Chain A
């Protein structure tokens, strides 16, 4: 890529806005996913009887079941949250940056 395009993009404040917003958002969501997953694994490793607690006295269903399914759903929801913001806000900023160098 030509150096003048790089310089032009880098001097655009929107570029810095995009970079800082997106990286903060991406890393935050990554940390949330790590926390959910390793939280789940650590409970199993250290205090697994917590997940075997029944949801009511008469039920066989344990709280581990909905929690496990919730971890799966959370992975999908987190990617959805990222896509929703990236497709609107980040793509708009990217579009404006690309337009500005034409």
Chain B
């Protein structure tokens, strides 16, 4: 039975730079149960459960739980970072965006990549040399532990919450679409599996889930892109020529279209993506899993390569789909046909399931039902890997920063801290499931953009200044961090994505879609101003402590080592 499903397309994205391809939007109806996909997915679950069982036996100390023992190699960590960063919705969303508007999809994916070199040059080694388990270790290194850790934990949890809700809602809808199971069952299933990985296997299990997912996703996408290119004799020009001929927009898909509407919004979105990547708690946390600064920089090198390669693949997938999907009438809705053939004007809007299904449909076109099942299972695995990393980062902020340092003031035992982190994981998992179900019919498209904006405006400025500016004080960091966070949230609420699309007002209060161009400078200026105004005795001591921090940061002398196993 053919079911009509109307996963809302990313068409809204064309008019707005604030919408994120990283979120799946709108109501959808479920598809017929896909048995191949479910079997393939069960194989993945079985494999990762085996790994979790193995990892659980190795997760004895807090260090094991937060960092997987700190002995992961740069190459493995690079793959895990890629697995953490390449979400299912970005795979499906960006290939869909390329399918519907061509070149604009490329602009979009470039934004998600350029944060990585910044991480490499300014934060990766510094994090490794100064930190232990969370980025708050680095941000609070020479400062008031209570104040800075509370601030870092609050902004980390806000980032994790928004990112997690967007992922859960996207997960529920995608799984409903791909596997034909109910939305709430999909959300609860994702929640339970991610809790099992994190509670029992900690960072070791999370890392391996991410590595396996990255390998599956990269090899699946490689197979699709190469099979598709083969039909064009491996000639990009031939692919572009046929795509231009088949696409309703014609030659316009070969250049920038409506994605970038004005310079201010374009730059603001670029700032959020570039510096937000360098402030995402679950990404920063991955730098404590490697033994030293050298492996930390190798991690970024491999991660950048894998992620860049992945975006080039999604670009090829989106473009070849323009040509190849049109040869499959079964992929289109009945109203897409005129006199029995697919109407060129309906190539984009007539695709059944919407443009988020482009990569899935192409999988079926190049590899039949078996490969369709494989790619669907990979999409599910991808969601799991991303939410597991997010939950672990959130749980660490609660147990390591809020509980051990702020509430217990460093007098907690390791056993107790581990317990708290596991309970936090369960609490976050349940909360994610509840919010995931509660937000089913809400528009969550703004949430990933907001998560990046907060990471760029609260976490990143405090982290960067704590490493590079000796005069920063506790007060400066605290005021700057909270102001950055508040500015990002308030401006987002006033923007179209929330004020109009969620609350339902007629017109947005501000024309700025992403707050980063204002909220990032607000945070930096506040840090600078309130640090200079701080004439307390503690501020003097903090300035003196910078010397020792700087030596450790540059040389790694005194840095955390890997544990014995």
List the interface of chain A (C-beta within 8 A of B).
1, 3, 5-6, 9-10, 15, 18-19, 22, 26-27, 29-30, 33-34, 37-38, 40-42, 44-46, 48-49, 51-52, 54, 59-62, 64-65, 68-69, 71-73, 75-76, 78-80, 82-83, 86-87, 91, 94, 97-98, 101
A58 to B: closest C-beta gap in Å: 10
- B103:A65 contact, CB within 8 angstroms: yes
Of the candidates B237, B550, B555, the one whose C-beta lies within 8 Å of that of A59 is: B237
Pairs A–B under 8 Å by Cβ, sample size 20: A1-B548, A6-B548, A9-B557, A19-B554, A27-B121, A29-B121, A38-B270, A45-B263, A46-B263, A52-B254, A60-B241, A65-B106, A68-B107, A75-B114, A79-B116, A79-B117, A87-B294, A94-B556, A97-B555, A97-B557
Task: Give Cα A71 to B114, complex, Å.
Answer: 9
Q: Is the CB of A75 within 8 A of B555?
A: no
Given contacts A52-B256, A61-B236, A76-B308, contact A98 B114 (CB under 8 A): no
Q: Are B256 and A51 in contact (CB under 8 A)?
A: yes
Question: Top 7 nearest A-B pairs by Cβ distance?
Answer: A52-B255, A45-B263, A48-B256, A26-B121, A68-B106, A62-B254, A30-B121
Q: Are A41 and B117 in contact (CB under 8 A)?
A: no
Bound: A32/B240 CA distance, A:
31
Q: Are A64 and B103 in touch, CB under 8 angstroms?
A: yes
Are the C-beta atoms of B256 and A98 separated by less than 8 Å? no
User: In the complex, A67 Cα to B77 Cα: how many Å?
Assistant: 29
Residue of A nearest to B106 (CB): A68
B304 touches A41 (CB 8 A): no
Q: With the chains together, A68 CA to B305 CA distance in Å?
A: 15
The total number of A-B Cβ pairs within 8 Å is: 159
Expressed in whole angstroms, the minimum distance between the Cβ of A76 and any Cβ of chain B is: 5
Stretch of B53-61, B184-192, B295-303, B443-451 lying at the A interface = B295-303
B551 and A15 contacting across the interface, CB-CB below 8 Å: yes
Contact B312 A69 (CB under 8 A): yes
Secondary structure at the B interface, as helix, strand, loop or mixed, is helix
Is B274's CB within 8 Å of the partner chain A? Answer: yes
Residues 247-274 of B contacting A (Cβ, < 8 Å): 251, 254-256, 260, 262-263, 266-267, 270, 274
* Contact, CB under 8 Å: B311 / A5: no
In the complex, the answer to whether A10 meets B255 with C-beta atoms within 8 Å is no
Which A residues touch B550, using CB under 8 A?
A: 19
> Is B547 interfacial (CB 8 A cutoff)?
yes
> Given A1-B552, A87-B294 in contact, is the A79-B255 Cβ separation under 8 Å?
no
| Residue count of chain B within 8 Å CB distance of chain A | 50
Query: For residue A78, which residues in chain B have a CB less than 8 angstroms away from its CB?
Result: 117, 120
Least Cβ distance of B470 to chain A in Å?
13
List B contacts of A22 (CB < 8 A).
Answer: 554
Please tell me if the beta carbons of A82 and B297 are within 8 angstroms of each other in the complex: yes
Contacts of A60 in B (CB 8 A): 237, 240-241, 244, 251, 254
Instruction: Give Cα A61 to B551, complex, Å.
Output: 52
Contact of A73 with B308 in the complex, beta carbons under 8 Å: yes
Give the one of A33, A76, A97 with max B CB within 10 A.
A76
Please measure, in the bound complex, the distance between the C-alpha atom of A19 and the C-alpha atom of B553, giving whole angstroms.
Answer: 10
Which residue from chain A places its CB closest to the CB of B319 in the assembled complex?
A65
Q: Are A6 and B547 in contact, CB atoms less than 8 angstroms apart? A: yes
Task: Find out whether the CB atom of B262 lies under 8 angstroms from the CB atom of A45.
Answer: yes
Q: What is the chain A residue whose CB lies nearest that of B258?
A: A48
> Is the Cβ of A37 less than 8 Å from the Cβ of B110?
yes
A94 to chain B, nearest CB (A): 5
Q: Which residue of B lies closest to A67 (CB)?
A: B106
Q: A45-B266, A72-B312, A75-B116 are in contact. Are A9 and B237 (CB under 8 A)?
A: no
Q: Contact at B122–A83, with CB atoms within 8 Å?
A: no
Known contacts A1-B548, A44-B260, A80-B301; A65 and B254 CB within 8 A of each other: yes
Residues of B with C-beta under 8 A to A30: 117-118, 121-122
- Given A45-B266, A82-B297, A83-B301, the answer on whether A72 and B557 have CB atoms closer than 8 Å is no
> Are B255 and A41 in contact (CB-based, < 8 A)?
no
A75 touching B294 in the complex, CB below 8 Å, given contacts A26-B121, A68-B106: no
CB distance from A23 to the nearest CB of B (A): 8
| Contact (Cβ within 8 A) B304 A40 | no
Cα(A64)–Cα(B107), bound, Å: 10
B260 touches A48 (CB 8 A): yes
Contacts known (A52-B255, A86-B297); A45 close to B260, Cβ less than 8 A: yes
Bound CA span A73–B120, Å: 15
A60 to B547, CA, bound (A): 58
| With A29-B117, A72-B312 as contacts: A64 and B548 at CB distance below 8 Å | no
Chain A residue nearest to B109 in the complex (CB): A72
Interface membership of B284, Cβ < 8 A: no
- On chain B, the residues within 8 Å of A94 by CB distance are 554-556
B387 CB-CB contact with A under 8 Å: no
Q: Which chain A residues border B103 with CB–CB below 8 Å?
A: 51, 62, 64-65, 68
State whether the Cβ of B94 lies closer than 8 Å to any Cβ in chain A.
no
Are B270 and A1 interface neighbours, CB within 8 A? Answer: no
Q: Is B410 an interface residue (CB 8 A)?
A: no
